[in-house]
Amino acid sequence: MRAFILSATLLAALAPAAAAQFTQFTWTLDNPQGVITILSADQMLFGGGSGGYPVGTTAKYMTVSPADALISVHAATIATPKGRCGDSIGLWGTADDLHVFGDCSSAQLTFSVHAGDTIVFGYQVLVSLLPGDAVFGNFSYRPFWSKLGGALAGSAGTPTLTGHGVPEPHEPVSLVVSQAAPAAPATLVIGLELANAPFKGGVLVPTPDVLVSGLVTSPAGDLQIAGAWPAGLPAFFSCLMQLWIADAGGPKGYSASNAVGVFAL
- Span 205-237, pLDDT tens digits: 999 999 999 999 999 999 999 999 988 888 778
Q: CA of 150: how far to CAs of 155, 158, 216, in Å?
A: 17, 10, 20
Determine which of 166-170, 182-186, 231-235 has the lowest per-residue pLDDT on average: 231-235
State the pairing for strand pair 238-246/145-147. Answer: unpaired
**Rounded Cα–Cα distance for residues 264 and 70 (Å):** 9
Tell me phi and psi for residue 175, to 5 degrees: -115, 135
Determine which of 71-85, 109-123, 130-144 has the lowest per-residue pLDDT on average: 71-85
155-171 mean pLDDT: 94
**Rounded Cα–Cα distance for residues 118 and 71 (Å):** 12
Detail the DSSP E strand segments found in 128-222. Answer: 133-143, 145-147, 160-165, 172-178, 185-191, 194-199, 202-206, 210-216
178-192 mean pLDDT: 96
8-31 mean pLDDT: 72
Work out the percent of the chain whose per-residue pLDDT is above 70: 83
**Rounded Cα–Cα distance for residues 170 and 111 (Å):** 16
Q: Contact 87/128 with Cβ under 8 angstroms?
A: yes
Report the mean per-residue pLDDT for the chain.
84
11-26 mean pLDDT: 70
Query: What is the DSSP code string of 46-74?
Result: EE-TTT---TT-EEEEEEE-SSSEEEEEE
User: Which H or E run includes 16?
Assistant: none
Amino acid at 229: W
Whole-structure pTM over 0.75, yes or no? yes
Q: Is the pLDDT of residue 22 over 50?
A: yes
User: Which H or E run includes 10?
Assistant: helix 8-14
79-125 residue pLDDT tens: 655 555 555 567 776 667 777 776 677 888 888 889 999 898 988 88
